[in-house]
Structure 1
Amino acid sequence: MKNKSPLMIVAVVLAVLLLVAVGFGVTQVASLKSQVQQAQLQNEELRLDNEQLQLSNEFGVLNSEFQQYEDQAQRLANDTILAKYTAAKAKVEQLMNELKSEKVKSQARIKELQNEIATLKGLLRHYIAQIDSLNRENAGLKAENSEIKAQNEQLSSRVREETRKNENLSERMTLAEKLNVTGVTLTPLKKNGKTEKNVTKAKQLMVKFTIPQNNSTPVGEKTIYMRLVSPEGQLLGGGGSFPFEGKSVPCTARKNIEYSGDEITGITIYWDVNTALTPGEYTVELFTDGYRLTSRRFTLKK
């Protein structure tokens, strides 16, 4: 009986640890799923914004074309088309104002706006056909059409530029999540490489971490840059510098790794102590590929 009691205790402790690990894993999966869903929602919002911009530009082109013929309306025997065009134009303006005021765009409202724009195009074509039949001798009409085409090309160029910006934004959002680090630790070491509890006596500081598996990350050699900041806010330097957000940023140390998409455990970066260390809160930052991977704080005691 005396031998069974400790075994039961160990079994209970292991079961509790297993439940904690499972709970942590479930939480991490849920968090990742939430991030993916958030990115998808943002991309959908960008796509709808771009569609609305394209339709707004098309509407501007239609109005530019219509204004070229508006002063000739009295020459038409039947102004029914003009009345229909005015009504459809008012509907388009109403839809665009509604979409501008909505934080989340509606695909259904975008589709309705597309249909109304298509109606306007059809009405405008019919309207222009009637006007042209009365003004075929107007030599200046060709010049006006050329000017409208130039305006249309300018608007199309703006749409292409906005589309490119949206694509770049989506690409950066994706790249920012490609590489991750977990299990970051900061440990003072003695001269023989063993743990030193008193930071003031440490000969080295060791940062250790894991890079999880991620098949979407480009493989190849990567340089991990580490920054260690003391409790006094001073960078523990000596590792040169690296480019980040258009600037040259000094670092404490660096390490090259070969990344193949698989998990890499036990990555260590060392810094040889060359100044007096004090107890307090130290900050560890890791960078690669132009992104800050993590920023963690650790309290080291005397």
Structure 2
Amino acid sequence: MKGKMSPMIILIIVLAVLLLIAVGFGVTQVASLKSEVNEARLQNEELQLQNEQLQLSSEFDMLNAEFQQYEDQAQRLANDTILAKYTAAKAKVEELMKELKSEKVKSQARINELQNEISTLKGLLRHYIAQIDSLNKENAGLRAENQEIKDQNQRLSSQVQEVTRNNETLSERMTLAEKLNVTGVTLTALKKNGKVEKNVTKAKQLMVTFTIPQNNSTPVGEKVIYLRIVNPEGQLLGGAGSFSFEGKSVPCSARKSIEYAGDEIAGIKIYWDVNTTLTPGDYTVELFTDGYRLSSRHFTLKK
């Protein structure tokens, strides 16, 4: 029949339509799948960036902790150059830490930059640590050297003190050797005729006798012997002026000049004329010459 399509043509048309529908559906599915894949990829990249950012933050925390560990040592070193570089590196760490924690880091490129900066800062840290250790060892060596010098100075000071003591002892021995000695010191009350008066209240004179023994170390020449007699009331029986002793002017009771040649001089007598009534009791007799106290003795005179 004219004008009618054959079944074959209709089938072809139907198949073509179905094919178009299938292709359209396939294209739609492919586009949807591609969108889902892209979204999944983006999410994965985001997660990866976040993970790297967390790792980077953790590394910065560890690096900052290492800087803080050596901060006290760096401060103690008081080295301006190392301290300035250390402070700058620490400030950079803190700056990058703030950037990480602000969540502004979104690109892989910036992550890579920060990783490179971490490596640089780690290198600086190792360098500073090496310098700190070197300076610590140097300071330890200086402390040991200073201690050794201090010990040497102390030993030298001890030696000087010992030599000084020995010199002082030697000087003292020489001084004592040169000192004029006296022995056999006595105090006797006398009558007007020079005989012994047993009742001190009636005495007209007091006589002090002594002996100067031989001493080859004592300089020879004229010696002035100064006598001091102190009564029981603690008063000096004066009347013969004064002499110099230990930087002071000391009054005396009497004085006597002798010529000393190094040999023994026995029976030396010095008199004091009584000008007041004496009281019984303990009297002190002192003899001086050449700036030395030769003797200090106590005697009891009775009534």
**TM-score between the two structures when normalised by the length of structure 2:** 0.48
Larger Rg: 2
TM-score of the pair, normalised by structure 1: 0.49
